[in-house]
Amino acid sequence: MARTRRRRRWVLEGAAALAGLLALVGYVQWWSEPSPEQSSEPDGLPAVVGRPSLPSIGPTAPAVPGLRPRERPTTPSPVPTPSPTSATARVPVVLLTIDRSDIPTSVNLTEVGDRDWMHWGLGGARTTVRKRDGSAEIRDLGGRGERGGWDGNQEVFRWRDGAPVRSADATPDGVYTCGTGNGFNLAVVADGQPRTVTVYLGVWMARGRLDARLSGGGPRRTLRLEERHTSQSTGATIRFQAPKGTRLLISWTVEETFTSHCGNVGLQAVALR
């Protein structure tokens, strides 16, 4: 009898516990269901108190609960390093022109050759006088043919700063050489600045050819002087500019003669300024 009572009590207690459990589950379910006025989040879950909402993550990144996608700093574009510009090489100026003009009846070499000058033939074919303390840039390179002295030129020359002859008042002297292909070779050393060279020359019953060129290459200039019956003189003005150390090369030669008796080219002086 006592055993039967205990079983009945256990059944009643179990039924009561089960009923309480069912009531609790129903209450929790009722509390969790959203009301019609509540809005849902994008993931379909209601935003209720006590339930954390997950941040919205873009479609390109997978959703990881509790973590935000790491924002990587954008890599700055490399700043181009300016390439060093090479210094523009200065191109040396090269200039060469030639003209002719009448020679004055009297030429003062001290004035027209303020930088340097040379004179040939004073008192004979072997005499050369040049500017004392000049730049020494005028050079006599010789030439083909034998040189002779001549004292009958129409123009006269004078100077006050010569060596070895210090001064001369009015000398008509000069030198000449006869025959086709013979003549004089001269040079003037350049210093990089514009310079003017005047060559005082002449012909007798011949055609002479004056050629000017630069030792470093570049333009060439030619001037001809012709006299078939007697003598003629002229001043050949050469303007040039070339790098320092370059030479202006001048040749004055007999191109053709018009007599069998020593058709020639003559040379009196060269002035540099």
Q: What is the pLDDT of residues 63-83, one digit of tens each?
A: 444 445 555 556 556 666 655
More confident residue, 59 or 16: 16
Closest CA to 209 of 98, 95, 125: 98
Query: Mean pLDDT throughout 152-157?
Result: 94
When mean pLDDT is compared across 33-37, 71-75, 144-148, the lowest value belongs to: 33-37
Please answer whether residues 252 and 235 qualify as being in contact, where contact means their C-beta atoms are separated by less than 8 angstroms.
no
CATH of domain 95-272: 2.60.120
Which residue, chain included where needed, has tokens 């009643």?
12
| Both structure tokens of 127 | 């005499």
> Please, are residues 157 and 268 in contact by the beta-carbon 8 Å criterion?
yes
Q: Is the pLDDT of residue 146 over 50?
A: yes
- Tell me: the pLDDT tens digits for 219-238? 999 999 999 999 999 999 99
| pTM, 2 dp | 0.67
- The residues, ordered by sequence, that sit 6+ positions from 263 with a Cβ below 8 Å of its Cβ are 178, 179, 180, 203, 204, 205, 206, 254, 256, 257
Q: What is the mean pLDDT of residues 248-257?
A: 98
Q: Quick check: 85 pLDDT over 80?
A: no
Using pLDDT thresholds of 50, 70 and 90, give the confidence band for residue 93: confident
What b-and-e string marks burial along 239-250, b requiring 16 or more CB atoms within 10 Å of the CB? bbbbeeebbbbb
Structure token pair of residue 197? 């060279």
pLDDT at 150: 93
pLDDT tens for each residue of 185-222: 999 999 999 999 999 999 999 999 999 999 999 999 99
Q: If phi over 0 gives left and psi between -120 and 50 gives alpha, with beta otherwise, what is residue 124?
A: left
User: Which residues are CB-neighbours of 248 under 8 A, at least 6 positions away?
Assistant: 96, 187, 188, 189, 190, 197, 212, 213, 214, 215, 238, 240, 242
For residue 86, is pLDDT > 50?
no
